[in-house]
Amino acid sequence: MFPFSRKNKQGYLSKEEEEQIVHAIKTAEVKTSGEVRVYVEGKCRFVDAIDRAAEIFYNLHMNETQHKNATLIYVAMKHKQVAVFGDEGILKKTGAEFWHENVKNMLQHFHKENYVTGICEVIEKLGLALAMHFPYEKDTDKNELPDEIVFGK
Protein backbone atom coordinates (compact mmCIF):
# COMPACT_ATOMS: atom_id res chain seq x y z
CA MET A 1 0.00 0.00 0.00
CA PHE A 2 1.29 3.43 -0.94
CA PRO A 3 0.53 6.11 1.69
CA PHE A 4 -1.08 9.06 -0.11
CA SER A 5 -3.18 11.76 1.44
CA ARG A 6 -4.64 15.07 0.45
CA LYS A 7 -4.38 16.17 4.09
CA ASN A 8 -1.36 18.05 5.36
CA LYS A 9 -1.14 15.96 8.55
CA GLN A 10 2.52 16.75 9.14
CA GLY A 11 1.99 20.50 8.95
CA TYR A 12 4.62 21.07 6.28
CA LEU A 13 2.62 23.93 4.81
CA SER A 14 0.12 26.38 6.23
CA LYS A 15 -3.39 26.50 4.80
CA GLU A 16 -2.47 29.76 3.02
CA GLU A 17 0.67 28.20 1.54
CA GLU A 18 -1.33 25.20 0.30
CA GLU A 19 -3.84 27.56 -1.32
CA GLN A 20 -1.03 29.54 -2.95
CA ILE A 21 0.46 26.39 -4.49
CA VAL A 22 -2.91 25.05 -5.68
CA HIS A 23 -3.67 28.47 -7.20
CA ALA A 24 -0.31 28.35 -9.02
CA ILE A 25 -1.18 24.89 -10.39
CA LYS A 26 -4.59 26.01 -11.61
CA THR A 27 -3.08 29.14 -13.20
CA ALA A 28 -0.36 27.11 -14.94
CA GLU A 29 -2.86 24.64 -16.36
CA VAL A 30 -5.22 27.28 -17.83
CA LYS A 31 -3.18 27.59 -21.03
CA THR A 32 -2.20 23.96 -21.51
CA SER A 33 -3.51 20.44 -21.82
CA GLY A 34 -0.56 19.45 -19.60
CA GLU A 35 -0.78 18.56 -15.93
CA VAL A 36 1.20 19.70 -12.89
CA ARG A 37 1.18 17.96 -9.50
CA VAL A 38 3.04 18.57 -6.27
CA TYR A 39 3.96 15.82 -3.80
CA VAL A 40 5.29 16.71 -0.33
CA GLU A 41 6.63 14.35 2.32
CA GLY A 42 9.11 14.49 5.17
CA LYS A 43 11.88 12.10 4.23
CA CYS A 44 13.07 10.69 0.93
CA ARG A 45 13.44 6.92 1.14
CA PHE A 46 15.86 6.86 -1.78
CA VAL A 47 19.38 8.21 -2.19
CA ASP A 48 18.33 10.12 -5.29
CA ALA A 49 15.14 12.18 -5.11
CA ILE A 50 14.48 11.69 -8.83
CA ASP A 51 14.06 7.95 -8.23
CA ARG A 52 11.50 8.67 -5.52
CA ALA A 53 9.74 11.16 -7.80
CA ALA A 54 9.55 8.52 -10.54
CA GLU A 55 8.07 5.99 -8.11
CA ILE A 56 5.41 8.48 -7.00
CA PHE A 57 4.72 9.57 -10.59
CA TYR A 58 3.85 6.02 -11.63
CA ASN A 59 1.99 5.16 -8.42
CA LEU A 60 -0.22 8.23 -8.95
CA HIS A 61 -0.83 7.00 -12.54
CA MET A 62 0.47 10.27 -13.91
CA ASN A 63 1.87 8.41 -16.91
CA GLU A 64 -1.68 7.80 -18.14
CA THR A 65 -2.40 11.30 -19.46
CA GLN A 66 -3.46 11.42 -23.10
CA HIS A 67 -0.47 13.43 -24.36
CA LYS A 68 2.13 12.10 -21.89
CA ASN A 69 2.55 15.63 -20.60
CA ALA A 70 2.18 15.32 -16.83
CA THR A 71 4.79 16.80 -14.50
CA LEU A 72 5.52 16.20 -10.82
CA ILE A 73 7.30 18.42 -8.34
CA TYR A 74 8.62 16.28 -5.49
CA VAL A 75 9.66 17.75 -2.14
CA ALA A 76 11.08 15.93 0.91
CA MET A 77 10.94 18.66 3.57
CA LYS A 78 13.06 17.16 6.36
CA HIS A 79 15.72 15.82 4.00
CA LYS A 80 15.58 19.02 1.92
CA GLN A 81 15.52 17.05 -1.32
CA VAL A 82 13.62 18.03 -4.45
CA ALA A 83 13.04 16.68 -7.94
CA VAL A 84 11.02 17.65 -10.98
CA PHE A 85 9.82 14.72 -13.06
CA GLY A 86 8.04 14.80 -16.40
CA ASP A 87 6.43 12.24 -18.65
CA GLU A 88 8.00 11.33 -22.00
CA GLY A 89 5.89 13.77 -24.06
CA ILE A 90 7.12 16.90 -22.28
CA LEU A 91 10.65 15.50 -21.77
CA LYS A 92 11.10 15.14 -25.53
CA LYS A 93 10.07 18.76 -26.05
CA THR A 94 12.16 20.45 -23.35
CA GLY A 95 15.44 18.55 -22.95
CA ALA A 96 17.31 17.63 -19.78
CA GLU A 97 18.74 21.10 -19.07
CA PHE A 98 15.24 22.52 -18.51
CA TRP A 99 14.65 20.05 -15.68
CA HIS A 100 18.07 20.59 -14.08
CA GLU A 101 17.59 24.37 -14.12
CA ASN A 102 14.22 24.10 -12.42
CA VAL A 103 15.62 21.93 -9.62
CA LYS A 104 18.58 24.29 -9.22
CA ASN A 105 16.30 27.33 -8.95
CA MET A 106 13.99 25.60 -6.51
CA LEU A 107 16.93 24.60 -4.29
CA GLN A 108 18.18 28.21 -4.23
CA HIS A 109 14.84 29.24 -2.73
CA PHE A 110 14.79 26.28 -0.36
CA HIS A 111 18.22 27.19 1.06
CA LYS A 112 16.64 30.51 2.10
CA GLU A 113 13.58 28.62 3.45
CA ASN A 114 11.38 30.16 0.73
CA TYR A 115 9.70 26.83 0.00
CA VAL A 116 6.43 28.09 -1.42
CA THR A 117 8.15 30.67 -3.63
CA GLY A 118 10.45 27.98 -5.01
CA ILE A 119 7.60 25.58 -5.70
CA CYS A 120 5.39 28.24 -7.28
CA GLU A 121 8.17 29.49 -9.56
CA VAL A 122 8.76 25.98 -10.85
CA ILE A 123 5.02 25.49 -11.35
CA GLU A 124 4.95 28.70 -13.41
CA LYS A 125 7.92 27.58 -15.55
CA LEU A 126 6.40 24.15 -16.09
CA GLY A 127 3.13 25.81 -17.08
CA LEU A 128 4.88 28.00 -19.65
CA ALA A 129 6.73 25.05 -21.16
CA LEU A 130 3.58 22.95 -21.24
CA ALA A 131 1.58 25.80 -22.83
CA MET A 132 4.24 26.22 -25.52
CA HIS A 133 4.35 22.54 -26.44
CA PHE A 134 0.86 21.40 -25.41
CA PRO A 135 -1.50 24.38 -25.73
CA TYR A 136 -4.99 24.34 -24.27
CA GLU A 137 -7.51 22.75 -26.61
CA LYS A 138 -10.93 24.30 -25.93
CA ASP A 139 -13.01 21.50 -27.41
CA THR A 140 -11.10 18.51 -26.07
CA ASP A 141 -9.18 19.54 -22.96
CA LYS A 142 -10.09 18.15 -19.57
CA ASN A 143 -8.30 18.27 -16.25
CA GLU A 144 -6.94 14.71 -16.17
CA LEU A 145 -5.33 14.91 -12.72
CA PRO A 146 -6.38 16.61 -9.46
CA ASP A 147 -4.77 19.95 -8.67
CA GLU A 148 -4.49 19.40 -4.92
CA ILE A 149 -1.13 18.80 -3.27
CA VAL A 150 -0.49 15.16 -2.38
CA PHE A 151 1.12 14.56 1.00
CA GLY A 152 3.13 11.51 2.03
CA LYS A 153 4.48 10.65 5.45
Tens-place pLDDT, residues 74-117: 999 999 899 999 999 999 999 999 999 999 999 999 999 999 99
**What's the domain range around 59?**
15-151
Give the pLDDT of residue 139.
83
Domain annotation covers residue 38: yes
The pTM assigned to this predicted structure is 0.93
Please report whether residue 82 resides in a domain.
yes
Q: What is the CATH number of the domain that holds 56?
A: 3.10.310.50
Residue whose C-alpha is closest to residue 126's, from 66, 85, 92:
85
Residue 2 lies in a domain: no
Identify the band that residue 1 occupies on the pLDDT scale cut at 50, 70 and 90: very low
Q: What is the DSSP letter of 101?
A: H
Q: Which residues pair with 84 in a beta bridge?
A: 73
Cβ-contact 123, 25 below 8 angstroms: yes
DSSP state of 64: G
Q: Is 112 exposed, middle or buried (0-12, 13-18, 19+ CB in 10 A)?
A: exposed
